[in-house]
């Protein structure tokens, strides 16, 4: 995830490349449902990691909405491209910080579009194999929902047996985009 600026054209029918304004993909052609009005138990929930020195929950709060670019792992990309739906709830996780942990809640606001940073040679996330005609990497858009009064540290999450099986707590789990069960999402919200 790279540093962001306020998203322009947020909520428009077409997804635009934030640099050129070129249409990347029309959301109206995608069949993913909006889940905003479903009970949490019927929604998919996620955890997205960002180093606060790159982009923090405070910046998302300021920007209100942003695109989540720079993901360069195929499994994480597939979650964004194939599984996320508008309205899905997201834990915003501060990684490589003191403490590491869940800093707040966001929501998927737009479906996945090709990640333009993959074909931008000036980007830290440039991939010479990617291009507008052959997008390898995808990104979703997030909108701010809530910043927690205190980060819920990873060390605290490990002490709750109710969170057994949560991917974040599995040994060796480093994926920056992870599913969270609705039950785990609800339980963690009760800790804030």
What per-residue confidence (pLDDT) applies to 38?
Answer: 64
Q: Is there a domain that residue 172 lies in? A: yes
In a domain, 35, yes or no: no
Residue 29: inside a domain? no
* Domain annotation covers residue 183: yes
d(CA 142, CA 104) in angstroms, rounded, equals 12
Q: What does the pLDDT average to over 132-140? A: 94
Does residue 32 form part of some domain?
no
Question: Percent of the chain, pLDDT > 90?
Answer: 75
pLDDT in tens, 117-132: 999 999 999 999 999 9
The CA-atom distances, in angstroms, between 37 and each of 32, 100, 159 are 14, 31, 32
| 41 exposure class (CB count in 10 Å sphere: 0-12, 13-18, 19+) | exposed
What's 185's domain CATH number? 3.10.590.10
Residue 176 CA to residue 179 CA, distance in Å, equals 10
What gap in Å lies between CA 142 and CA 13, rounded to an integer?
16
- Is 133 strand, coil or helix? coil
CB atoms within 10 A of CB 36: 14
CA distance 161 to 158: 8
State the total domains in the chain.
Answer: 1
Identify whether 81 is part of a domain. yes
Boundaries of domain holding 79: 45-191
pLDDT value at residue 189? 97
Is the residue at 5 inside a domain? Answer: no
What's this model's pTM, rounded to 2 decimal places? 0.82
**Does residue 78 contact residue 85 with C-beta atoms inside 8 Å?**
no
**Residue 117 within any structural domain of the chain:** yes
């Amino acid at each position: 995830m790279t540093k962001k600026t306020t998203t322009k054209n947020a909520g428009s029918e077409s997804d635009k490349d934030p640099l050129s304004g070129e249409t990347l993909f029309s959301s109206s052609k995608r069949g993913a449902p909006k889940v905003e009005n479903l009970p949490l138990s019927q929604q998919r929930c996620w955890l997205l990691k960002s180093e606060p020195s790159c982009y923090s929950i405070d910046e998302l709060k300021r920007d209100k909405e942003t695109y989540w670019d720079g993901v360069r792992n195929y499994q994480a990309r597939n979650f964004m491209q194939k599984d996320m739906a508008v309205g899905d709830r997201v834990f915003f996780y501060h990684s490589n910080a003191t403490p590491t942990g869940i800093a707040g809640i966001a929501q998927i606001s737009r479906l996945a579009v090709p990640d333009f940073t993959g074909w931008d040679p000036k980007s830290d996330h440039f991939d010479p194999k990617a291009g507008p005609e052959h997008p390898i990497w995808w990104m979703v858009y997030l909108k701010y929902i809530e910043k927690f009064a205190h980060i819920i540290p990873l060390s605290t999450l490990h002490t709750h047996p109710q969170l057994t099986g949560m991917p974040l707590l599995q040994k060796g789990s480093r994926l920056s985009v992870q599913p969270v069960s609705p039950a785990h999402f609800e339980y963690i919200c009760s800790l804030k």
